[in-house]
């Protein structure tokens, strides 16, 4: 890479010639404020917060898009620069709804933080404001344009990363707003509820539909037996809400906190991930042996499933019919567990703590009611669980570790844990399918070919005499690219794993929100996934089919994977949806 020599605030540095001033400054440890900038996603210079002086330039320039060149001299902290940034910020605040104390992003708002850092103590440009109607039509996402600062980060992630594109800037000038085609509510569009727009938003213009009130009410209802289950990705992110380092594993503290909140039982969704592998793996084996529909595609990401229903209805037969793990667990809790515990299923209230906003939508799907009751009654995001813990005045970081309750003991396998990272479902399936197909037990069970944070991964895995062609995609833009190759006959696979969110569930739309500056410096996908794999290695059982409580469940209740009873409780169907953009 060709290098150029520049000076920033008098400091001589050498940087790659394709850098912007912002990249160069950050390499030199010099902080330039940003609002609209989101590394690799939204680099448009719209907010003007990153203004700097360049000697020889006529005016101030935006550092996030201005390229470096040989001999350039940049000043980032002059009176002129500071005054311009402050004025820009004051103008941004002039028509922003300033109900900070009741905003879901209070104390985690990039606009609020900049106002403090840049010394905004008054807003001299108070003028006309437009009152926008809050869009709460979606079961997962709330849009409040009264708080929107038109940074377009949500638009970029929806268009460029997810290729869903249901929101965009509308109108011009002062009346510009972010909205949907023909002013449709979000629920009347192709939105897949993934929530990537929420974690991209720097303010409180987007947030998840609140379920905490329903859960508090259930906990207070003495007629309800309230159980909670937690997804694998939650335990490697929840700690961030309490100031712990990114990638901290807080499994034991999380379980203790849930008990203190008053849940009657605290279950581990990892067990249901093992159950998913038994059903999905058996389905794959059946297709291999009987010449079934290929490629078989995973179905545990509800954002991906809805995306497929809208965009690839011709591939719905390729989806595994297995429900997602938390829905499977809900069905088992309201059937087998209810019988064992002697509780009427109507009195059991199942709460899922998920890294995902699309799970809220999924829990409302009518077809996910294997017992005649909804499999899951309420879904909390990781953020919502943190909110409840804080509201209960629980000092999370000082909690002791405790273990999960379980209908069948306290055991889930490492294969269930790795569901939280992209490639994890594929690897978990391969650990089981390889041994069932060959009749052999393998010590080497880590399939590194499907690991990593790349958007698309392809591999051929040799199992006995069979070469199994697999692919993994995370992020719906990558899924679209991969499936278009399949449709055109340019790619041939037996099995495909797709997760709606880039990096998988670890960066789901319900996970803790990190500011753009942190996201630019730390790979959240990699740090959280590392913790996932560390937990896998720490467990005694690392293969789903070796989980003794899975064996017990089939022996006592389900019979066999993909059998009559398991099909009724643990499988589902999908519906082609019209394009609504």
How far apart (Å, rounded) are the C-alpha atoms in residues 273 and 275?
A: 5
Per the residue annotation, which of 362, 411, 497, 535 is the catalytic one? 362
Catalytic, 556? Answer: no
Catalytic, 280? Answer: yes
Per the residue annotation, which of 43, 240, 241, 280 is the catalytic one? 280
How far apart (Å, rounded) are the C-alpha atoms in residues 304 and 273?
A: 17
Q: How many residues does the chain have?
A: 581
Which residue reads 């913790």 in tokens? 531
Q: Which helix or strand (DSSP H or E) is residue 3 part of?
A: strand 3-8
557-565 CB contacts, 8 Å cutoff, 24+ apart: 557/335, 557/336, 558/336, 561/278, 561/279, 561/281, 561/282, 562/279, 562/282, 562/283, 562/286
Beta strand residue intervals within 128-234, DSSP E: 141-143, 168-170, 177-179, 206-208, 225-230
Q: Cα–Cα distances in Å, from 317 out to 51, 156, 179, 350?
A: 52, 31, 33, 30
Q: Which residues contact 10 (CB under 8 A, 6 or more apart)?
A: none
Per the residue annotation, which of 64, 103, 300, 356 is the catalytic one? 300
CB atoms within 10 A of CB 507: 28
Per the residue annotation, which of 211, 301, 320, 474 is the catalytic one? 320
How far apart (Å, rounded) are the C-alpha atoms in residues 286 and 289?
A: 5
Catalytic, 300? Answer: yes
- DSSP one-letter string for 506-544: GG-TTSPP--HHHHHHS-HHHHHHHHHHHHHHH-S--SG
How far apart (Å, rounded) are the C-alpha atoms in residues 393 and 395?
A: 6
Per the residue annotation, which of 505, 535, 546, 566 is the catalytic one? 505
Beta strand residue intervals within 272-381, DSSP E: 296-297, 348-354, 378-381
Per the residue annotation, which of 70, 367, 484, 521 is the catalytic one? 367
* Contact status, residue 277 vs residue 548, Cβ threshold 8 Å: no
Catalytic, 505? Answer: yes
Per the residue annotation, which of 209, 323, 359, 543 is the catalytic one? 359
Q: Which helix or strand (DSSP H or E) is residue 382 part of?
A: helix 382-391
- How would you class 56 by CB atoms within 10 Å of its CB: exposed for 0-12, middle for 13-18, buried for 19 or more? exposed
- Per DSSP, the chain holds a count of helices (H) and strands (E) of 20, 17
Catalytic, 126? Answer: no
In the structure encoding, which two tokens stand for residue 370, read together? 């294997």
Catalytic, 148? Answer: no
How far apart (Å, rounded) are the C-alpha atoms in residues 304 and 417?
A: 20
Q: Which residues contact 259 (CB under 8 A, 6 or more apart)?
A: 266, 402
Catalytic, 289? Answer: no
Give me the half-sphere count of Cα atoms (radius 13 Å) on the Cβ side of residue 258.
33
How far apart (Å, rounded) are the C-alpha atoms in residues 279 and 323?
A: 9
How far apart (Å, rounded) are the C-alpha atoms in residues 419 and 432?
A: 14
Per the residue annotation, which of 110, 208, 241, 283 is the catalytic one? 283
Q: Which helix or strand (DSSP H or E) is residue 459 part of?
A: strand 456-463
* Contact status, residue 202 vs residue 153, Cβ threshold 8 Å: yes
Task: Give the phi and the psi of residue 142 in degrees, each rounded to 5.
Answer: -110, 135
- How would you class 308 by CB atoms within 10 Å of its CB: exposed for 0-12, middle for 13-18, buried for 19 or more? buried
What are the catalytic residues?
280, 283, 300, 320, 359, 362, 367, 505
């Amino acid at each position: 890479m060709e290098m150029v020599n520049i000076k920033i605030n008098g400091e001589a540095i050498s940087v790659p010639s394709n850098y912007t001033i912002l990249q160069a400054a950050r390499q030199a440890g010099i902080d330039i404020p940003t609002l609209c900038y989101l590394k690799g996603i939204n680099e448009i210079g719209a907010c003007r917060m990153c203004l700097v002086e360049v000697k020889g330039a006529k005016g101030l320039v935006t550092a996030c898009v201005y390229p470096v060149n040989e001999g350039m001299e940049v000043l980032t902290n002059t009176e002129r620069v500071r005054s311009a940034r402050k004025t820009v910020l004051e103008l941004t605040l002039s028509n922003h709804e300033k109900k900070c104390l009741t905003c879901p992003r209070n104390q985690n708002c990039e606009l609020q933080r900049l106002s403090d850092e840049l010394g905004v103590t008054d807003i001299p440009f108070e003028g006309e404001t437009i009152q926008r109607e809050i869009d709460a039509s979606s079961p997962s996402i709330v849009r409040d344009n009264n708080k929107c600062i038109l940074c377009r980060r949500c638009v970029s992630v929806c268009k460029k990363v997810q290729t869903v594109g249901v929101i965009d800037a509308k109108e011009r000038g002062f009346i510009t707003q972010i909205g949907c085609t023909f002013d449709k509510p979000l629920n009347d569009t192709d939105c897949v509820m993934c929530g990537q727009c929420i974690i991209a938003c720097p303010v409180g213009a987007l947030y998840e539909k609140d379920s905490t009130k329903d859960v508090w009410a259930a906990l207070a209802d003495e007629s309800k037996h309230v159980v909670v289950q937690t997804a694998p990705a939650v335990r490697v992110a929840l700690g961030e809400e309490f100031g712990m380092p990114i990638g901290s594993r807080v499994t034991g503290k999380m379980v203790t906190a849930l008990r203190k909140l008053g849940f009657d039982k605290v279950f581990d969704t990892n067990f249901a991930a093992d159950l998913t592998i038994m059903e999905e793996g058996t389905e794959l084996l059946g297709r291999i042996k009987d010449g079934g529909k290929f490629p078989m595609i995973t179905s545990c990401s509800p954002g991906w499933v809805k995306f497929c229903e809208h965009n690839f209805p011709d591939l719905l037969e390729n989806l595994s019919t297995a429900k997602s793990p938390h829905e499977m667990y809900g069905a088992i809790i309201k059937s087998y567990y209810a019988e064992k515990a002697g509780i009427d299923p109507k009195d059991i209230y199942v709460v899922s703590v998920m890294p995902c906003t699309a799970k809220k939508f999924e829990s409302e799907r009518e077809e996910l009611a294997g017992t005649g009751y909804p499999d899951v009654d309420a879904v909390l995001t990781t953020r919502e669980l943190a909110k409840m813990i804080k509201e209960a005045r629980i000092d999370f970081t000082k909690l002791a570790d405790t273990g999960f309750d379980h209908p069948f003991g306290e055991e889930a396998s490492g294969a269930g844990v790795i569901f939280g990272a992209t490639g994890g479902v594929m690897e978990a399936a391969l650990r089981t399918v390889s041994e069932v197909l060959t009749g052999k037990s393998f010590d080497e069970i880590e399939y590194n070919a499907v690991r990593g944070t790349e958007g698309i991964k392809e591999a051929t895995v040799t199992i006995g005499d069979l070469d199994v062609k697999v692919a993994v995609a995370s992020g719906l833009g990558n899924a679209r690219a991969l499936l278009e190759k399949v449709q055109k006959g340019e790619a041939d696979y037996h099995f495909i794993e797709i997760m709606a969110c880039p990096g998988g569930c670890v960066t789901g739309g319900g996970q803790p929100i990190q500011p753009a500056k942190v996201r630019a410096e730390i790979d959240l996908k990699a740090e959280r996934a590392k913790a996932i794999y560390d937990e896998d290695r720490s467990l005694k059982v690392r293969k789903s089919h070796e989980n003794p409580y899975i064996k017990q469940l089939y022996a006592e209740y389900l019979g066999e994977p993909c059998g009559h009873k398991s099909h009724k409780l643990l499988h589902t169907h999908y519906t082609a949806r019209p394009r609504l953009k």
